[in-house]
Amino acid sequence: MIDQEAIRKHIRGIIEALGDDPEREGLKETPERVARMYAEVFEGMNYTNDEIAEMFSKCFDVPENGNHDMVVVKDIDVFSYCEHHLALMYDMKVTVAYIPKGKVIGLSKIARIADMVAKRLQLQERIGTDIADVISKATGSPDVAVYIEGTHSCMTTRGIKKSAARTVTTTFRGRFEEDKELQNRLLLMIK
């Protein structure tokens, strides 16, 4: 579990290290506010991928009649924090696709999985890998794809300061990795 008391203590120390007075008006309650915010925005750190898959594993049976349609949920808004700088990764859009294997997961569960996985200290590349892992476990399908496009404040507001830079990552598993035509079909749907 996230230790809010330790966060309060350390945020107070950061304020002092920045040369400000944590007792001045405006900052008095900042350590408490940050501790509550961190408990919310890092909620996913409380759970493993297996636990997230279990939490959101409610599926519905569908007949397997040789149909290999893909399910795609696109433009799922998420945010995360870069594990290298603790900087915000924002304006992120996630697309998740999978080919059902006898059952489908509720569409809102896909968005909940993406959201929970992003609520960790992360790399964009790992967010895609973790989402694919959880979706595969929850649905039983090995055929999963995740496409993410996002902006990283560690690139836009510090260092190189390229405000228009966007990062795109893809994760392909199973048939999405093996079948380039299926991959291209998905990528055309996203654009």
Annotated catalytic residues are 82-85, 124, 152, 154
> What's the rounded Cα separation, in Å, for the pair 43 and 60?
27
Q: Which amino acid is at 84?
A: H
> What's the rounded Cα separation, in Å, for the pair 165 and 59?
38
**If you search the block for the tokens 């299926």, which residue do you land on?**
182
> What's the rounded Cα separation, in Å, for the pair 139 and 60?
9
DSSP-derived 3-state class of residue 106: coil
- Which uninterrupted H or E stretch holds 7? helix 4-17
Candidates 83, 86, 106, 101; CA nearest to 157 is: 86
